[in-house]
Structure 1
Amino acid sequence: MNSSPTYDDPGVYRTLLESTKAIPWKIDWASMRFTYIGPQIETLLGWRQDSWQTVNDWADRIHESDRQKTVDFCVAQSMQGVDHEADYQALTRDGDLVWIRDVVHVKRHPDGSVDCLVGFMFDITERKAAEDKILQLQKELETMSYRDALTGIANRRMFDRILDVEWSKARACGEPLSLVMLDIDFFKQYNDSFGHPQGDLCLQQVAGLLDDTASRTRDLCARLGGEEFVMLLPATNAEAAHAIAARFARLLARAAIPHRNSRVDDVLTVSIGVGTIVPGGQDAPEAFIELVDRRLYRAKGEGRKRIVASGD
């Protein structure tokens, strides 16, 4: 005679449930009391199986940062008879945190009223850690995509993006927006003289000095490419923008980076174009950039090592 248990034996189901890592539970809706929770809960969270008496025990063991929103969500979904899932941080008896995914099924009476809630708790701590790592890496990659790999300051992509934002703000507020564009004088000759590794170091030094000059929160310094750099200066009038450009030129002169093949000095110098605008409805940032770029090339054409801040 076959003495093996039949599949309608409650003991079979309990054995199956309690041999899995998922933690089964059941709550009576009328009394809001646990009628069952798997013994695995003690292994996972440290709380004794018989300490899970009411839904308040469940709520109190959710970390305070997740507690209210989790309880509100689960209650609302349950009242509507909607099966649902909730991720939250649970407190262990020792005060540590474990990420839980609660999968909830709402069982109803024939008249449609809620009878009980049954569900499973899953430990998703490792999954959450992996997801957080992926998000962190994605943010790092995004940050890298907006940074110049050599100098560490913003790149052209970041400059274009921030310019659009600051342009719109300046137009809405009627504020001046200034741009300082600069190009290292005779940089090809610098590379030919000192070599590309030293040329890279030179670009990094210039970027560092720019970063020191554009020191306000909303100021942005960026490398546009090659030896060309820019400072975007929100809420900065023409006089202040010229002063900032001149301050950078003084910092560069003080740094005294040797340049024996320069035709204008024995140290590194730059040519600078400066422009200021209060954007109107008909103005375009591209035209403003072109204006400042023309001033930069006028500075180069007029002998380099100078600032041009007026004219077309």
Structure 2
Amino acid sequence: MEKIKQQKLLLASVLGLIGFTINLFPLPLFANIQLVLGNASYVISAILFGPWYALYTASIAITGLFISWGSPHVYLIFSIEALCLGLARRKEFYSLYSSIAFWIAIGMPLFYLYATFYSNLPDSHLPFIILKQAINGVLYTAIGSFLVILTPSYWLFQPKGKGLRRQTFSAQLTYVFTLVITLALLLAALLFNNQFIKRQQDLLSQNINESALHISNLAQAYIDTHSLALNSAASWLSLNKRDAEQQQIALSNLHQHYPGFITMLIANETGKIQEASPVSLFIETDNLKNLDVSDRDYFIEAFINQNPYISPVFLGRGFGKDPIVAISVPLYAPGNTYQPIGIIEGSLDLNRFKEIDRTNKLFRDQYIVIADQQNRIIFSSPELAIQPLSDFNYSEDNALDSTLLPTMNIHDKANTAPEYVYAANELDTGWTLYVLNPFRPLVVLVEKMYLATFAILALSLIVTFIITRIISARLTRPLERIANKFSTSIANDNNDYGIDDDSPKEIYSLYTRLKQSKSQLIGYQLALEEKVALRTFELEQANQQLKSLAEKDPLTGLFNRRYAEEQFPLVQENCQRSDDVIAIAILDLDKFKRVNDTYGHLSGDLTLKAVARLLEDDFQRDGDIIVRFGGEEFLVIMPHCNTLKIESHLENFKQRLAKIVIENPDNNASFTVTTSIGAVIGNGTYNDALEDWIKQADFNLYQAKNNGRNKLVFTTLQET
């Protein structure tokens, strides 16, 4: 027994370690939803060993899940599940049915309470996540149960003993069919859903990357067009020297041809603004020529470094106060391309990106974010509510490690549920363009698909269970009828056994063999019954003889002391109930040793037999018990006797015995014997121990011997 316990503990530990290893790497299904398979280890332990070993295995396996998820709720829910499965198995309930009942009655409500009060899961996800967890539980229970069925070496550990409820063959067949079909349907559903999700994610990835590429090209073309226009304008202005009025006219004409610039300006070598467009803004702006842009990056890069420059986003001042992206190019004096005399700058109209965003939304539910080299917002879709010039901060979610889709959270960065799927492209300017697709529609699609699949699965399981039960009953009914009929009757036709043309060949073969065997068994049974009856009769006879030998004296044929001790409690109880008396007499033959010494032992035996015959003649009532008490002593128990006559009756017996002549034919000897008698009489309530009665009678016998033998001493017992 101790060795079996050690084997169970070892196997439970091994199962726990296997479950621990598998649970370290749960299979990702979608987003933050994962498939747990390592819990099948404690299902196996529950089936084979019961609740406490299952709890031990679960405590090891669940630790792997805790390390992976970092959530303590796994210890509560899955430990309770392990105990419930073990207790259900002890009650002979099938594990798959027990798992379904557990998740409906306990598991899903517990998980809902945990998710509501102790997690940050969004309410919209809860129904799906809870249902998924229940389906997951049924799946790994089915896997564990199936592994036990497929592994005969495990069967040695399954519970055995008295009082276990034996399942019918129909119930076992129904369960196995249901288990196999459940496992097949669940795996098929998960595989189908996984392929569906992968296809949807591939389509989404293709869609969002195409959008990112297209919008990036539009944005880059918009920037390149205006950069080229400004470069051309700078080259044209550098060919001829013009006065201020001519410069203003040229700048205004250029601005009219490129309305993508909000404003345009020309600054001299000191950074002072000389001309600006639109002219109306130039006139309305006080002291515009006093504005100094020498500290602006677009002046420094274009004038000092003599490079065309596209700036990061910044806040305008004086001449326009909107978020600005500036494009600047150096200006040179005619004939001198080495020494700049100023810059020409244009501030891009960022609303152009709004038009691109609006056009894209006509076809796709997507948002745009454009960030500059310093990761500050140049433009974002209004729905995102992100202010320009703010830093673009987001958290990346790695829930989709099984796919190539990157996700991000902008508004609720701590939430594990992704907000957006995104694609990012870097422009030639160093800007980054993000195209964001809301993640929720994909989640809703997947949830609806899973819920529909689970609903179809549940309906399929119910239909499967009903059909399987009908089929199993159809297959096993002939066997049940054969068993019942062969146990209750001798001959019946095929229909009585449920055997027909549709019955399986094996069952029909079993029926014919059983029918032949039954005829033979009936013949054997009759012969055996006859032998048993004869042996029983002989045994009863032998028992009677043994009982007689055990209770009677072989020489005199009287009962022995053992018989008297066995019967006295019944006699005493009977007299006690009827408030009647009992008389007990001990007879001892006087000088019996001299008879043996003088006339031989045969004469002694003849004497004992003669005394026995005389006792049987004188004490003939049904209740009287005559016993050879030992040697030459005899005991007579007389219940319900007449108190007034018993003494004279014993006296008469003593006298009759003294007159009998005993003859020994072997030596022609003849002689007489006498007896001394000690007798007592008392109420049945006196004592229930025969020894106490005999003790008083033996005392009277002693008195009779001392008074000269051949005497009767008779006394009445007094209750104390």
Structure-1-length-normalised TM-score: 0.58
2:86 aligned residue: none
Which AA in structure 1 matches 2:593? K
Structure 1: gaps spanning 5 or more residues: 1-77, 87-101, 111-116, 260-265
1:180 aligned residue: 585
Which AA in structure 1 matches 2:627? A
Distance 1:298 1:258 in 2: 30
**Displacement after TM superposition at 1:207 (Å):** 0.7
Does residue 1:164 correspond to 2:548, yes or no? no
**Displacement after TM superposition at 1:210 (Å):** 0.6
Task: Evaluate the alpha carbon distance shift between residue 199 and residue 84 of structure 1 in structure 2; reply closer, same or farther with a 3 A threshold.
Answer: farther
Does residue 1:287 correspond to 2:705, yes or no? no
Task: Evaluate the alpha carbon distance shift between residue 126 and residue 247 of structure 1 in structure 2; reply closer, same or farther with a 3 A threshold.
Answer: same
1:239 aligned residue: 644
SS in 1 for 2:680: strand
Distance 2:485 2:693 in 1: 57
Distance 1:182 1:125 in 2: 50
Contact map agreement 1:177 1:276 (CA 8 A) in 2: yes
- Of 542, 545, 566, the residue aligned with 1:140 is 545
- Of 275, 280, 297, the residue aligned with 2:680 is 275
Contact map agreement 1:179 1:241 (CA 8 A) in 2: no
**Displacement after TM superposition at 1:237 (Å):** 3.6
Distance 1:83 1:143 in 2: 45
More helix by share: 2
Task: Evaluate the alpha carbon distance shift between residue 258 and residue 143 of structure 1 in structure 2; reply closer, same or farther with a 3 A threshold.
Answer: closer
Map 1:224-235 to 2 at 5 A: 224-235=629-640
2:403 aligned residue: none
SS in 2 for 1:230: strand
1:127 aligned residue: 532
Distance 2:641 2:696 in 1: 17
Q: Which of 1 and 2 has greater Rg?
A: 2
SS in 2 for 1:231: strand
- Number of aligned residue pairs: give it: 205
Map 1:39-50 to 2 at 5 A: none
Does residue 1:217 correspond to 2:619, yes or no? no
SS in 1 for 2:629: strand
2:610 aligned residue: 205
Task: Evaluate the alpha carbon distance shift between residue 283 and residue 213 of structure 1 in structure 2; reply closer, same or farther with a 3 A threshold.
Answer: same
2:207 aligned residue: none
Alignment deviations for residues 205-254 of structure 1 (CA, whole Å, 9 cap, x no partner): 11110111111111111100000001111101433221221221132123
Distance 1:294 1:156 in 2: 18
Task: Evaluate the alpha carbon distance shift between residue 131 and residue 287 of structure 1 in structure 2; reply closer, same or farther with a 3 A threshold.
Answer: same
1:23 aligned residue: none
Task: Evaluate the alpha carbon distance shift between residue 109 and residue 178 of structure 1 in structure 2; reply closer, same or farther with a 3 A threshold.
Answer: farther
Which AA in structure 2 matches 1:196? H
Distance 1:242 1:125 in 2: 56
Structure 2: gaps spanning 5 or more residues: 1-480, 491-495, 500-513, 665-670
Contact map agreement 2:576 2:685 (CA 8 A) in 1: yes
1:190 aligned residue: 595
2:715 aligned residue: 310
Contact map agreement 1:271 1:306 (CA 8 A) in 2: yes
Alignment deviations for residues 106-145 of structure 1 (CA, whole Å, 9 cap, x no partner): x8659xxxxxx97525223233212211111111111111
Distance 2:552 2:487 in 1: 42
Which AA in structure 2 matches 1:274? A
Contact map agreement 1:156 1:223 (CA 8 A) in 2: yes
Distance 2:634 2:612 in 1: 8
Distance 2:588 2:619 in 1: 16
Task: Evaluate the alpha carbon distance shift between residue 270 and residue 258 of structure 1 in structure 2; reply closer, same or farther with a 3 A threshold.
Answer: farther
Which AA in structure 2 matches 1:253? A
**Displacement after TM superposition at 1:163 (Å):** 1.5
Larger relative contact order (C-alpha < 8 A, sep ≥ 6)? 1
Identity of aligned residues (%): 29
1:250 aligned residue: 655
2:329 aligned residue: none
Distance 1:247 1:84 in 2: 69
Task: Evaluate the alpha carbon distance shift between residue 134 and residue 311 of structure 1 in structure 2; reply closer, same or farther with a 3 A threshold.
Answer: closer
Distance 2:535 2:652 in 1: 47
2:465 aligned residue: none
SS in 2 for 1:216: coil
Which AA in structure 1 matches 2:619? A
Contact map agreement 1:178 1:237 (CA 8 A) in 2: no
Which AA in structure 1 matches 2:530? T
Task: Evaluate the alpha carbon distance shift between residue 282 and residue 276 of structure 1 in structure 2; reply closer, same or farther with a 3 A threshold.
Answer: closer
SS in 1 for 2:681: strand
Contact map agreement 2:659 2:672 (CA 8 A) in 1: no
Distance 2:646 2:486 in 1: 61
Spell out structure 1 runs of 4+ moving beyond 4 A: 80-86, 107-110
Task: Evaluate the alpha carbon distance shift between residue 125 and residue 281 of structure 1 in structure 2; reply closer, same or farther with a 3 A threshold.
Answer: same
Structure-2-length-normalised TM-score: 0.26
2:555 aligned residue: 150
Which AA in structure 2 matches 1:140? Q
Task: Evaluate the alpha carbon distance shift between residue 135 and residue 289 of structure 1 in structure 2; reply closer, same or farther with a 3 A threshold.
Answer: same
Distance 2:540 2:487 in 1: 25
Task: Evaluate the alpha carbon distance shift between residue 131 and residue 270 of structure 1 in structure 2; reply closer, same or farther with a 3 A threshold.
Answer: same
2:95 aligned residue: none
Distance 1:139 1:242 in 2: 36
Contact map agreement 1:185 1:305 (CA 8 A) in 2: yes
Contact map agreement 1:179 1:292 (CA 8 A) in 2: yes
